[in-house]
A and B are shown apart, each in its own frame.
Chain A
Amino acid sequence: GNSVTQMEGPVTLSEEAFLTINCTYTATGYPSLFWYVQYPGEGLQLLLKATKADDKGSNKGFEATYRKETTSFHLEKGSVQVSDSAVYFCALSSLVNTGTASKLTFGTGTRLQVTL
């Protein structure tokens, strides 16, 4: 079955530091890949996505590239801010049931804490 593996957290960084959160996946076919962010007490917000190999998703300074050869989708940001403190989830979406439905499979989440 499909699975997503994320690096363990928490990750603690100083403001303006470089961020990398590793994500690798196992899936059949050609999944779409996503990063979601969850702030305390909130639901999930879509941060970025990539739907095919070599696509780069980007949003709010965050980037991730769909690497089929290494089955990876690592999240990066060049300079983090205190407001980026949250839990980040890597996820993949694949077709199921002969293409009539889709399902998201999530990683375990990585908590990021950014300090001044």
Chain B
Amino acid sequence: KAGVTQTPRYLIKTRGQQVTLSCSPISGHRSVSWYQQTPGQGLQFLFEYFSETQRNKGNFPGRFSGRQFSNSRSEMNVSTLELGDSALYLCASSLVWARRGRAEAFFGQGTRLTVV
């Protein structure tokens, strides 16, 4: 069974540009979450999507957005990039158990974004 696939693995962008990152979840997983990892702030939750709807959002500015498609694939977009957006962006997919709602998350290898 293929794991979570994130593309691209590495990106270099200039301040002010925008970027789109892609995530393909494990087959059959309907929930996709995004996290930002930086040395200073650690792992921070960005948002979660399920059935093409954003279910939960972290404390990030509106420049960070995402969406989910009918096949559960997800993209996140960051507009007007700032130097501080340089980070490893991780995508995670999980089965959603309606009653328990707390299935483990499986992570992709991440996209390393560098803003110069």
Residue numbers of A with Cβ under 8 A of B are 31-32, 34, 36, 42-46, 49, 51, 89, 93-97, 99-109
- On chain B, the residues within 8 Å of A97 by CB distance are 55-56
**Docked-complex contact B43 and A103, CB < 8 angstroms:** no
- On chain B, the residues within 8 Å of A42 by CB distance are 109-110
- Which of A31, A44, A105, A108 is B102 in contact with, Cβ under 8 Å? A31
- Which of A95, A101, A104, A107 is B105 in contact with, Cβ under 8 Å? A104
Say how far A115's CB is from chain B's closest CB, in angstroms.
23
A100 CA / B101 CA spacing, docked (Å): 7
Most buried by B among A46, A89, A96, A104: A104
Residue numbers of B with Cβ under 8 A of A are 4, 6, 31, 33, 35, 42-43, 45, 48, 50, 55-56, 58, 90, 92, 94, 96, 100-110
**Docked-complex contact B102 and A32, CB < 8 angstroms:** yes
**Docked-complex contact A44 and B107, CB < 8 angstroms:** yes
Known A101-B31, A101-B50; further 6 A-B contacts with Cβ < 8 A = A43-B4, A44-B92, A51-B100, A51-B102, A93-B102, A105-B45
**Docked-complex contact A104 and B92, CB < 8 angstroms:** yes
- On chain A, the residues within 8 Å of B106 by CB distance are 46
- On chain A, the residues within 8 Å of B4 by CB distance are 43
- On chain A, the residues within 8 Å of B45 by CB distance are 103-105
Residues A101 and B55 in contact in the complex (CB < 8 Å), given A43-B90, A89-B43: yes
